[in-house]
């Protein structure tokens, strides 16, 4: 594949860090959803992760939702590169 060579250590660090940021952002969005009614959205977002994007935008949590989306895009991109 194209692009500059990336060491295994760098790729592993990127995978671990992006996963950690994604999980943290996911839990932050779920926590924010649980703070407001209806609370069933937080449980659904916790159990069905792709709905977190939709519910996060509807809750006007734009920055956290953007961090969530970017973290998972980077994570899956790094996993495909590995």
Query: 3-class secondary structure for 38-56?
Result: CCHHHHHHHHCCHHHHHHH
The residue that leads in pLDDT, 27 or 4, is 27
End-to-end CA gap in the chain:
11
Predicted pLDDT at 80 = 95
pLDDT at 3 over 80: no
What is the residue extent of each domain of the chain?
Answer: 8-81
Predicted pLDDT at 20 = 98
pLDDT at 1 over 70: no
63 vs 82: CA distance, rounded Å: 28
Q: Which two tokens mark 64?
A: 């956290």
Q: What is the pLDDT of residues 5-63, one digit of tens each?
A: 889 999 999 999 999 999 999 999 999 999 999 999 999 999 999 999 999 999 999 99
43 vs 29: CA distance, rounded Å: 11
Predicted pLDDT at 82 = 84
* Contact assessment for residue 71 and residue 16, using Cβ atoms and an 8 Å cutoff: no
């Amino acid at each position: 594949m194209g692009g500059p060579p990336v060491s295994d250590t760098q790729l592993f660090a990127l995978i671990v860090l992006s996963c950690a940021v994604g999980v943290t952002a996911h839990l932050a969005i779920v926590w924010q959803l649980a703070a407001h009614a209806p609370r069933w959205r937080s449980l659904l977002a916790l159990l069905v992760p792709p709905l977190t994007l939709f519910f996060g935008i509807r809750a006007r949590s734009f920055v956290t939702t953007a961090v969530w989306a970017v973290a998972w895009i980077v994570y899956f991109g790094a996993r495909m590169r590995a």
